[in-house]
Amino acid sequence: MVFTISRCETEAQPARGMGGTRWAFRCGSWSPSRREWLWAAQCIQREEKERIGRFVFARDAKAAMAGRLLMRKLACEKMGLPWDEIRLERTAKGKPFLASSSPSFPSHQWAFNISHQGDFAVLAAECGLQVGVDVMKTRQPGRGSVPDFFRIMKRQFTDHEWGVIKGAGSEWTQLDMFHRHWTLKESFIKAIGIGVGFDLHRLEFHVSPMHMQQGCVYRETRMCVDSKENTGWVFEESLLDQDHHVAVALGKAEEGARPTWSEDQGDDNWVSTIPPPQKFTLLTFSDLISRAVPMEDEDTNYWEEFLKKTTEPAS
């Protein structure tokens, strides 16, 4: 297999509206004030608010709230939809999509995806492409040793991938390479909208470069499906910080609004037409709600219920 020479890609500034989007919000360190949490709850759909309210842990509630605000911000600022007319729904597989659109920016031309794990919630979006995104924080297994954790996960990776993971160096570096591979697999699964039921062992990633630098975006990694290289997909990789890997899967959009994929190698001619890679822009809470308008009355009990949530699960 032939790979391109590794290089650090820097982002280009896309035209407003039609350009791709890469946003990140540090939800882990967000300690919402009463005013912030109640305002956020007013600016999302009622069923979204109720769903977030059912989370047991504050960490999960904050991440979910950030994800909904990221999607609404995208629809408002990039697709030209009035905030209070945005209607988000989910496919049967649970992938969010827009049920409303603007004549100038039809929602079916856009693909977007969110992920939240560790300290970040992220969103990636493109017009005219399939998109999946995943973020993972490198950390020690909650229980057991690293070798025990790898034994549990053995069936999710190919022999080649395990060779790369276990050959990375120290146990921490091996964990880091493990999470890098995991984000790649999950970004593809999320892009095609299949979710549970896809055998991850069918996917094999040949990562390049072996070591990434924070502040760079890379497109050198290649994917094989059932041992055959599939050139119909491009993968962007970057580090949000030294512990968080993020991967974006980009695929050629087919006719129709729903994600599709082919087991064939694919046509790589389309790759030259995709926009240059972009770095993730780190947003503040003020950025998230800069165009928000309330859709519900203030619910003071929602804040009281939030305060009762446990911060995060015990390790």
In the structure encoding, which two tokens stand for residue 41, read together?
């709850």
In the structure encoding, which two tokens stand for residue 84, read together?
């209070």
Which CATH class name applies to 21-307? alpha beta
Could you list the mean pLDDT of each consecutive 10-residue stretch along the chain, which spans 315 residues? 41 49 97 98 96 96 97 92 90 75 60 95 94 96 90 94 97 97 96 79 96 96 94 96 97 61 60 87 98 95 96 66
Domain coordinates in residue numbering, the chain:
21-307
The answer to whether 29 touches 120, Cβ cutoff 8 Å, is no
165 phi and psi, to 5 degrees? -65, -50
Predicted pLDDT of residue 117 = 96
Residue 218: CB atoms within 10 Å: 21
The answer to whether 61 touches 53, Cβ cutoff 8 Å, is yes
Global pTM reads: 0.89
Integer Cα distance of 34 and 104 in angstroms: 37
Coil, strand, or helix at residue 273? Answer: helix
Predicted pLDDT of residue 106 = 56
Predicted pLDDT of residue 59 = 96
Q: Is 75 exposed, middle or buried (0-12, 13-18, 19+ CB in 10 A)?
A: buried
Predicted pLDDT of residue 95 = 72
In the structure encoding, which two tokens stand for residue 246, read together?
């993020």
Q: What is the DSSP string of 38-99?
A: HHHHHTS-HHHHHHHHT-SBHHHHHHHHHHHHHHHHHHHHTT---GGG--EEE-TTS-EEES
Coil, strand, or helix at residue 27? Answer: coil
Residue 238: CB atoms within 10 Å: 26
